Amino acid sequence: MLYQDCGSCHGMTLRGGLGPSLLPEALARYNLDAITGIILHGVPGTAMPPWSDLLTEDDAAWLADHLLSVKPASP
Ligand code: HEC
């Protein structure tokens, strides 16, 4: 899910594409709540869509935690 849907914009390895890189280094300036909020509500005025129709708050928090803690496999 993360790599498919998010990867269509952020790149399959989350290194960036249409959207910015989602690697932990790139997200270090956010905390868990901030990232959860970005995922649920999107970034207004940009291509980053809100996911609150598709994901619960728990799902978004899981994704945020995953983004901050797990390094994607190298390509
Ligand atoms: C339709 C394309 C698209 C999809 C699909 C998408 N994003 Fe994004 N995302 C963007 C764009 C564009 C931005 C940059 C917004 C900006 O200019 O601040 C962004 C920004 C972000 C940011 C903030 C990054 C930063 O450094 O400011 C996070 C976190 C994020 N996306 C997570 C996700 C997650 C998780 C998913 C999958 C559930 C996802 N995105 C799916 C286009 C997308």
Owning domain of residue 73: 22-75
pLDDT at 3: 64
Residue 72 has pLDDT above 60, yes or no: no
pLDDT at 16: 73
- Flag whether 17 is in a domain: no
- Flag whether 13 is in a domain: no
Amino acid (one-letter) located at 4: Q
pLDDT tens by residue, 15-70: 777 788 888 888 888 999 999 999 999 998 988 899 998 899 999 999 999 888 86
- Flag whether 61 is in a domain: yes
pLDDT at 1: 62
Token digits of residue 50: 């809100």
Cβ(43) to ligand 1 under 6 A? yes
What number of other Cβ atoms are within 10 A of residue 25's Cβ?
8
- What pTM was estimated for this model as a whole? 0.84
Terminal-to-terminal C-alpha distance of the chain:
18
What CATH number did the domain enclosing 54 receive? Answer: 1.10.760.10
Token digits of residue 23: 């690697």
pLDDT at 2: 62
Ligand 1, residue 8: give the atom nearest the CA.
5
- Flag whether 8 is in a domain: no
Domains identified in the chain, total number: 1
